[in-house]
Chain A
Amino acid sequence: MSGKFNFSNRKYVVGAVAVIVTVVYIVRLFSLQILSDEYKKNADSNAFRKEIQYPSRGLILDRKGQLMVFNEPSYNIMVVMQEQLGVDTADFCRTIGITEEEYVQKMKEIKARRNYSRYTPQLFLGQIPAEEFSVFREKLFRFKGFSIEKRSTRRYASALAAHILGDVGEVSEHDIEEDDYYQSGDYIGKLGVERSYEKQLRGEKGVRIMLRDVRGRTQGHYKDGKYDKDAKPGKNLTLSIDMELQALAERLLQGKLGAIVAIEPSTGEILCMASGPTYDPNSLIGRDRGKYHKILKNDKKSPMLNRAVMGTYPPGSTFKITQALIGLQEGIITPQTTFPCSRGFNYKGLHVGCHGHSSPIALVPAIATSCNSYFCWNLYRMFGATEKYGSVQGGMTRWKDHLVRMGYGYKLGVDLPGEARGMIPNAEFYDKHIGHAWNGLTVVSISIGQGEVTATPLQIANLAATVANRGHYFIPHIVRSVQDGQIDTIYRRPHYTMVDQKWYQYAVDGMRAAVTSGTCRGANLPGLDVCGKTGTAQNRGHDHSAFMGFAPMNNPRIAVAVYIENGGFGATFGVPIGALIMEKYLNGELSPASEAKAASMQARTISYPYYE
């Protein structure tokens, strides 16, 4: 090899780097360990202790500024394992009211924690209210190794809105892994807005850097507190919920399974959101949280499920409004188009039943009387328009795209955890499950909100809001404002559907006619110009009763959806409950007659044999 291309001497450079680094590091080690006394002194006599300062969690108010959630002082009992030897456990357990088995169990749990150290305080028992605490405080000196830490507990002003507000609980291992902010023993929002607005509510922990000696005794602030940081309290939330309306909604749901959602169409703000059955949020705080949590979890009626956003149901006839709009936009029907209805849809041996009304029938009266046949024909024609869409699949895809833009089939994006997306089948779904031999007839039941179609009550309310706005909606949301800040821009931007504004007038006319002369006559409130649509959804048991509506017809201020499981006809439960909600919100109070109606509605219970 020629000298020019032989770099063999560079091995000495590489070797020299290794030797120099080693020597430099040994010198550094020497200076740290032998020359400098500073670090040694630090370790021998003093060490830092970071004392966490816990911020107070943000308050939650309703849209009128009424306090819904606040904080109350409470105490945590901490234990340093190394020092707690020789405690009279019997006395200790009696004082704080636990059994000795629970004590042993607790100690075991503490030792199993991931960052467990026997020299630092570990959380023994949390969230003990002040009144239960005074006895323990008096005896504290007897229990070596135990100490107290002041924290706060969430309190709920009323037993209402449990699903919306949610709760807080101790962070899980998973939470700690996800986010460096948390340490074991911290609290975190578990459900509801407590969870979805956790980052705003929690504030920011502060820290005091204390010097301490070998025995852990605090000597004072490090550098006179130069590096201390104060805790920043959490931001307050103002919800869009109207507590009086919420109270009425929850009252009307008593003894029933189902949900009520009301939205302000011009903003997308949720005015009330009730889910039945519900529970008292105050039961999920403090020491007994675990016990009640278990009871609620094991209840077959799933009281912790927020049916308004997590429940998916066949939307039934409320869905026909979407079908009318799609048909008009696609040119499948005109407002003048009539279809025959001979007590139902009869074609090629398929029969979908309907009730008695005049025939043939045009669009507006078809909505008013909720004619099944009309909408079956509409869908059958659309899926059959292969010259327009290329194939049945093409028609179906167009149909699905329309519905997705109306807010169906995907999560709307409400600011609550656990939202369900519902189901809007697409062509691939039927190709897979039926094979390619399907057509408009095979799937015709989706046109009346049955079959594979499901939606959440929130999506149904959102449809009512979209019609109220004549073609656009704002993503429904529960938080109206965050202290010193704005809500996310996604909640302030209108979403337009693929249907022209002009077609919406026919949907409005149909829904108005349903109230004046059709299936929703029970909602015809004088002077409020209510528009509505019933739904009666078949399912394995008794039919579900549904209603959606908005009022007033022009410049609507409220859109509402009611869904009562196994409630029978839409007119039985859906219509009267929806009417009461609208009346209460628009008039501010119920008339004496309506008050009586509300009382009887509250008293009516539905039995659910398969949940017992």
Chain B
Amino acid sequence: MSYPQRTNPLLQVDWVVILIYIALLTFGWFSICGATHEIGDTDFFSMATRSGKQLLWIGLAFGMGTFLLMLDERYFDITAKVLYWVMMVVLLITPFLAKDIKGSRSWISFGSFNLQPAEFAKCATALAIAKLIGTYGFDMTKFRCLAKAIGLILLPMVLIVLQKETGSALVYFAFFLMLYREGMPGSFLFTAVAAVLYFVISIQHAGIQFPSTLTPVGEFVVLLLTWIFTTGMLRVYLPQTDHARRFLLWGSGIVLGAWLASRFIVPFDVAWVLVGMCLLMVAYLFWHYLDTRVMRYLYIALFALGSMMFIYSADYALNRVLQPHQQSRVKVLLGVEEDVAGVGYNVNQSKIAIGSGGFTGKGFMNGTQTKLKYVPEQDTDFIFCTVGEEEGFVGGSVVLLLFMALILRLIYLAERQSTVFGRVYGYCILSILLFHLIINIGMVMGVMPVIGIPLPFFSYGGSSLWGFTLQLFIFLRIDVGSQNRLTSR
């Protein structure tokens, strides 16, 4: 038995990740120069400019990265729980210490510079959840275990929503991707995707009626989807039975019959027929569950019932639960509202800026759209605009590919971990990165709602940069430790 050799972790660290990291930071810094630059003003290093400040944040981030690599990787495992709870307390008290900045209380001021604790809570949550799942005896298929894991995710979400930073809270949904990798039933992900689909469709098509009926298209389509999904689930999960075929046959008959009646006899709200049909399905499945005690019947019945309830509560959720500015963002994205002057203005300007970039872009610091300050938040949440305008399709693609490479490399590293702790942590951070990438770049290109979260390593600001650096370098350090153990065995 030999002890692991204490070699310098700096030499064993995964240099692929480091190189991508440096490439992204460099690209990001030049974009900030481009976004904040005024013509005739070339001093990028002055601390009075945002580019100068960002350079300082980057320098400090390097320092922090190096420091993290020098630590013993066991610290992260040992302190995970404490860090998590300390962070939760910080999140809890933040709204009381923070001043109100545009409706949200999430920034704590230290003199002239501000920190957003929510950015660091992601890292603490990732560590805590990795620790939990890495504990001996943890089993994702057991309800208690899964509930614990989900509880760890929901707590910071709730606390961040209390700071009125709904955007940052949504990021925690990324952890479900990790849970999926660790064995959470795939039907959970399917349910989540179905929920999003229902929501979008029912809101988007609430205003128009399905031809020859008095039913709104959204409601009609979603009820139809409920029927199709339920039938599909029966086919997948209970393939040996005949229920799926029966549902398909009877369902088609009923829907067609109802539509024909509305078309040729008297127009009426077909939704009632569909609701009745779905309720019959639920009753049928429930009866089968009581008869056979096969749990899958119950699950599918609950899915169908939940779908129906969801349809009728989505509208309520949109109009009551979300803040007015979030409502309008969702509505603009779904095309319910066209609002060129308000939220739509931002997205429209951002699309114009990107679109004007063409194949190779206008060149560094030559972007006119961002220069004229048409694009709001151009150096923070909308930074990808500047990339698109100044570096064009080539630059934009390179950035996207760099992110993809980073995520794929992180998957590779996560999979080679010798501990569950390391693997779960790796998946946590790569899921977060992926989520930010999907939402931020999607929003700038007008395919996702405008949710104010930064583009990792690009957006101006110390909190975000340090938060991601922290997450990344802790993983790199864990990875070095894992490699050491493997080679010394």
Contacts and interface: CB of A to CB of B under 8 A. Distances in A.
Interface of A: 5, 7-8, 10-11, 13-15, 17-19, 21-22, 25-26, 28-30, 32-34, 36, 38-40, 42-44, 47-48, 50, 82, 115, 117-120, 177-178, 180, 207, 209, 214, 222-223, 227, 229
B325 to A, nearest CB: 9
Contacts of A13: 180-181
Contacts of B441: 25
Interface in B246-281: none
A18 B434 contact: yes
Interface string B62-73: 000000000000
A-B pairs with lowest CB-CB distance, top 4: A39-B355, A43-B356, A22-B404, A117-B373
Contacts of A119: 371-373
Given A43-B369, A47-B352, A177-B102, A26 B400 contact: yes
A47 B352 CA distance: 9
Nearest to A179: B102
B388 A33 contact: yes
Contacts, number: 135
A7 B182 contact: yes
A18 B408 contact: yes
B61 interface: no
Interface stretch (B206-214, B228-236, B389-397): B389-397
B152 interface: no
B445 A25 contact: yes
A38 B355 contact: yes
A47 B374 contact: yes
Contacts of A115: 373
Given A25-B445, A33-B393, A40-B358, 15 more contacts: A7-B182, A14-B427, A21-B438, A29-B397, A29-B400, A32-B351, A44-B356, A47-B352, A48-B349, A82-B39, A115-B373, A119-B372, A177-B100, A177-B101, A223-B340
Given A13-B180, A18-B407, A39 B356 contact: yes
A384 B230 CA distance: 78
B176 to A, nearest CB: 11
Contacts of B9: none
Contact of A227 (B340, B351, B403, B445): B340
A32 B407 contact: no
Interface string B417-458: 000000000010011001001100110010100000000000
B345 to A, nearest CB: 7
B38 interface: yes
Nearest to B442: A25
Contact of A11 (B181, B348, B352): B181
B101 A22 contact: no
A32 B445 contact: yes
Contact of B415 (A8, A42, A229): A8
Contacts of A39: 351-352, 354-356
B447 A28 contact: yes
Contact of B352 (A26, A42, A117): A42
A40 B355 contact: yes
Contacts of A5: 183
A53 to B, nearest CB: 12
A172 to B, nearest CB: 14
B397 A26 contact: yes
Contact of A17 (B177, B371, B393): B177
A597 to B, nearest CB: 52
Contacts of A178: 100
A580 to B, nearest CB: 47
Given A29-B354, A40-B356, A50 B345 contact: yes
B341 A180 contact: no
A15 B371 CA distance: 37
Contacts of A15: 407-408, 411
B403 to A, nearest CB: 7
B210 to A, nearest CB: 28
B237 interface: no
Contacts of B392: 33
Contacts of B431: 14
Contact of A120 (B38, B373, B400, B411): B373
Nearest to A111: B38
B357 interface: yes
B321 interface: no
A34 B372 contact: no
A180 B323 CA distance: 15
A177 B105 CA distance: 12
Given A14-B181, A29-B393, A43-B369, A48 B445 contact: no
A19 B345 CA distance: 30
A603 B342 CA distance: 59
A109 to B, nearest CB: 15
Interface string B327-357: 0000000000001110001001101111111
Contacts of B393: 29-30, 33-34
A33 B368 contact: no
A33 B354 contact: yes
B101 A21 contact: no
Nearest to A227: B340
B233 to A, nearest CB: 19
B312 interface: no
B373 A33 contact: no
Interface in B26-53: 38-39
Contacts of B353: 43
23 contacts: A7-B182, A10-B180, A14-B181, A15-B407, A21-B434, A22-B401, A22-B403, A25-B445, A26-B396, A26-B400, A29-B396, A29-B400, A29-B445, A33-B354, A34-B359, A39-B352, A42-B356, A48-B349, A50-B341, A115-B373, A117-B372, A177-B101, A180-B103
A26 B393 CA distance: 8
A44 B368 CA distance: 9
Contacts of B103: 180
B345 A33 contact: no
Nearest to A32: B355
A7 B397 contact: no
B372 A47 contact: yes
Contacts of B411: 11, 14-15, 18
A410 to B, nearest CB: 22
Interface string B166-179: 00000000000100
B337 to A, nearest CB: 11
B354 A32 contact: yes
Contacts of B427: 14
A43 B390 CA distance: 13
Nearest to B438: A21
B35 to A, nearest CB: 12
B457 to A, nearest CB: 16
B359 A33 contact: yes
Contacts of A50: 341, 345
B341 A227 contact: yes
Interface in B120-170: none
Nearest to A17: B434
Contact of A25 (B38, B400, B414): B400
Given A7-B183, A29-B396, A32-B445, A43 B341 contact: no
Contacts of B358: 33-34, 40
Contacts of B371: 119
B400 A22 contact: yes
A387 B305 CA distance: 66
Contacts of B180: 10, 13-14
Interface in B459-489: none
A533 B230 CA distance: 82
B372 A120 contact: yes
Contacts of B442: 25
Nearest to A10: B181
Among B354, B355, B356, B438, the most chain A Cβ lie within 10 Å of the Cβ of: B355
A6 to B, nearest CB: 9
Contacts of B359: 33-34
A42 B414 CA distance: 45
B340 A222 contact: yes
Given A48-B374, A50-B341, A7 B181 contact: yes
